[in-house]
Homo-oligomer: A and B are copies of this chain.
Amino acid sequence: MDYQARVHKLAERLRGKRGVDALLVTHLPNVRYLCGFTGSAGVLALADGGGHSFATQAALFTDGRYTTQAREEVSGARVVVGKRNPLLEASAWLKQQRARRVGFEAEHMSFATQRHIAAALAKPAKLVPTSGLVERLRMIKEREEIEQIRAAVLLASGLFDRVLRTIRPGVREADVAAELEHAARRDGAEGMSFETIVASGSRSALPHGKASAQPIQANGFVILDFGVILAGYCSDMTRTVCMGSPSKRQAELYAAVLGAQEAAIARVSPGRTVAEVDQAARSRLQKAGLGRYFTHSTGHGVGLEIHEPPRIAKGQAEKLVPGMVITIEPGVYLPGEGGVRIEDMVVVTQSGCEVLTPTTKELIALE
């Protein structure tokens, strides 16, 4: 990854938009994106070296636990291993650099920490809240990032095919999750993107039904929603299978959700708003009389974080741009009865989109 190019792009936005002459990056996925550091304690400080362009100086502050790791991983920034809290060290350094207007990530710094750092910086330096500066860069994926995401998606898709064999009446949801996660590790995943959802029978009506000790019944839906992390990048997929032959009602519910999901995918194209994509799924389900059972948004961006901008939801004006990677995952949830959700990851291309998830969306019936 070309970290220096990213820092350079960010620096341009800083100068252009905010009139800040320094930035404290504290959100760890943003730190990683800008300099490659993957540890759990690190702050990236950027300072304007002066001149008519934002001639950036960058330094990554961490603690003694990460000395070796930071030196191996970080590129495009000095590594400073301090004795104190990395954020205090970074603030002290910015003072030395004569920074005056120090941007910070207002969504990712606690109120208490902000007060602490404001006091440490002291006059004439001033903390200036910023919002989503790095996230907006991260939203448009580079080719290399798309390939990393594709690899994570393919790994997860391969797991789905294997875990299907373990789904039988009497097997606990947690056992299915255990097999899935074990296979993921074996295949080289660094971890799961989020707590694996295996929601069977009436629990499939819970949009966030983490795998429980409940045994799978001989009928009803089973929702599997999971993802893996590979080289830091997340994947996310959902499939719903049916225990036994689907009833007419089950087949109709499934077909309605699949129709909505495909309608939303068909709408993904550069220049369209994310709200239009959401509406495509929503109006399909409304026509099927299921609108009020679709209780969440249609999707979200995925990258170094499992949930990142844009949100594919009502009222969101963001326009799609080539390189965005998003999920499309409508669902319906009928309390006490059951639910269906189908989710793919897609990348926005010049002319439309490419579906990254290769797994079949035909309704699979398991005996």
Quick one: given A109-B110, A110-B111, are A65 and B185 in contact (CB under 8 Å)?
no
Q: Kindly identify which residue among B68, B106, B111, B181 contacts A181, using a CB–CB cutoff of 8 Å.
A: B181
Quick one: given A106-B112, A111-B110, are A68 and B174 in contact (CB under 8 Å)?
no
- Is A129's beta carbon under 8 Å from chain B? yes
User: Chain B residues near A185 (CB, 8 Å)?
Assistant: 174-175, 177-178, 181-182
A69 touches B206 (CB 8 A): yes
Within 8 A of B (CB), among A37-90: 39-40, 64-69
- Is A296's beta carbon under 8 Å from chain B? yes
- Is A208's beta carbon under 8 Å from chain B? yes
- A181→B110 CA distance, assembly (Å): 33
Q: Kindly identify which residue among B129, B175, B191, B296 contacts A111, using a CB–CB cutoff of 8 Å.
A: B129
A178 touches B186 (CB 8 A): yes
Q: Mark A269-284, 1 if CB is under 8 A from B, else 0.
A: 0000000000000000
- A177→B178 CA distance, assembly (Å): 13
A68 touches B178 (CB 8 A): no
- Is A219's beta carbon under 8 Å from chain B? no
- Is A188's beta carbon under 8 Å from chain B? yes
- Is A207's beta carbon under 8 Å from chain B? yes
Within 8 A of B (CB), among A223-267: none
CB distance from A293 to the nearest CB of B (A): 10
CB distance from A227 to the nearest CB of B (A): 15
User: Chain B residues near A114 (CB, 8 Å)?
Assistant: 111
User: Chain B residues near A106 (CB, 8 Å)?
Assistant: 110-112, 115
- Is A166's beta carbon under 8 Å from chain B? no
- A65→B296 CA distance, assembly (Å): 7
- A188→B114 CA distance, assembly (Å): 40
- Is A107's beta carbon under 8 Å from chain B? yes
How many copies the complex holds: the figure is 2
- Is A19's beta carbon under 8 Å from chain B? no
Within 8 A of B (CB), among A107-151: 107-115, 129, 131
Q: Kindly identify which residue among B175, B191, B296 contacts A186, using a CB–CB cutoff of 8 Å.
A: B175
- A115→B114 CA distance, assembly (Å): 12
User: Chain B residues near A174 (CB, 8 Å)?
Assistant: 185, 188
CB distance from A12 to the nearest CB of B (A): 23
- Is A195's beta carbon under 8 Å from chain B? yes
B112 touches A131 (CB 8 A): yes
Quick one: given A178-B182, A185-B174, are A39 and B208 in contact (CB under 8 Å)?
yes
User: Chain B residues near A66 (CB, 8 Å)?
Assistant: 208
User: Chain B residues near A108 (CB, 8 Å)?
Assistant: 110
- A191→B104 CA distance, assembly (Å): 34
- A107→B116 CA distance, assembly (Å): 11
User: Chain B residues near A178 (CB, 8 Å)?
Assistant: 182, 185-186
User: Chain B residues near A181 (CB, 8 Å)?
Assistant: 181-182, 185
User: Chain B residues near A131 (CB, 8 Å)?
Assistant: 112
B177 touches A296 (CB 8 A): no
User: Chain B residues near A104 (CB, 8 Å)?
Assistant: 111
Give the residue name and chain of the B residue nearest to A64 (CB).
B295
- Is A169's beta carbon under 8 Å from chain B? no
- A68-B206, A107-B111, A111-B129 known, 6 other contacts, Cβ within 8 Å: A39-B208, A65-B295, A68-B205, A68-B335, A174-B188, A190-B210
Instruction: List, sorted by A's number, 10 A–B pairs whose CB atoms are closer than 8 Å.
Output: A39-B208, A40-B208, A65-B206, A68-B205, A68-B206, A106-B110, A110-B110, A110-B111, A112-B129, A181-B182
